[in-house]
Amino acid sequence: MPISLEKIGFKTLKLKIMGPLIPNDIIPFEWNSIIAIVIGIFFGFILEASGFSSSRKLAGVFYGYDFAVLKVFFTAAIVSLIGLLYMDYLGYVDMSRLYVHPTYLWGAIIGGAVMGIGFVTGGFCPGTSLCAVAIGKIDAIVNVIGIMIGIFIFSELFTFFEPIYNGYFQGNITLMDSLDVNPYWFVFILTVVAILMFAASDLIRKRVKKVFY
């Protein structure tokens, strides 16, 4: 019978660096702002290089002449989901210590709906309009001013919005809590759905009149 080291008193040495690094004090907090700028640079570069500084490319997802938004967005979501689940499984990151966006049921639905109308009206979302501002798009500058006006309106009328903003709070829940699904199966199915969507989007694009911009 093999003798385990632990049974004879040795503690197995763990050399794994457990993420998240800053909340776990592995990287000192002072580095926070520098890391923020570096991550931002990569974020801006990737968005701009993928064509997200063009409102006409972004709006294409709603009219079927360009599905870049759908492809970039869902590829990113699936890559990050699979990556984080693997890192959690292998013990490199503690998923329970990651910040989970809180669920305020009607806030998410109504806020999302208002953003959806804003997206198809303005052709930008905040991250992409910032990228377009950086390369000099005047419509994006106007869009960012609009976003700031929108935030100002919300803040001034906060008492009116407060019931949906603070109401229907369900905690920082995940789909495992609300749907009682196994995360691995869920991600697997989501990946299959995304691949089918990508294939369908290519078929749709072939049938839709081309738009040049």
Partner 1 sequence: MKDTKEQNRHIYWNPYFGGFLLGILIIITFYITGRGLGASGAMKSSVVTIVDDVSHEHAEQSAYYSKFVSDDKSPMNNWIVFETLGVLIGAFISGGLAGRIGWRVQHSPKITRRRRLIFALIGGVLFGVGAQIARGCTSGAALSGMAVLSTGGFITMLAIFGTGYLFAYFFRKNWI
Is residue 191 a contact residue for partner 1 (CB under 8 A)?
A: no
Is residue 205 a contact residue for partner 1 (CB under 8 A)?
A: no
Hey, which residues between 52 and 91 contact partner 1 (CB under 8 A)? 53-57, 59-63, 65, 67-68, 71-81, 83-84, 87
Is residue 111 a contact residue for partner 1 (CB under 8 A)?
A: yes
Q: Which two tokens stand for residue 85?
A: 């689940």
3-state secondary structure 47-93: HHHCCCCCHHHHHHHHHCCCCHHHHHHHHHHHHHHHHHHHHHHHCCE
Is residue 212 a contact residue for partner 1 (CB under 8 A)?
A: yes
φ and ψ of 201, to 5 deg: -65, -35
Hey, which residues between 151 and 190 contact partner 1 (CB under 8 A)? 151-156, 158-159, 161-162, 164-165, 170, 172-179, 183, 186
State in angstroms the smallest separation of the CB of 12 from partner 1: 24
Q: Which position among 1, 8, 90, 117 is part of the footprint of partner 1 (CB under 8 A)?
A: 117
Q: Which is nearer to partner 1, 12 or 155 (CB)?
A: 155
Q: Which residues of 26-50 are buried (b: 16+ CB within 10 A; e: fewer)?
A: eeeeeeeeeeeeeeeeeebeebbeb
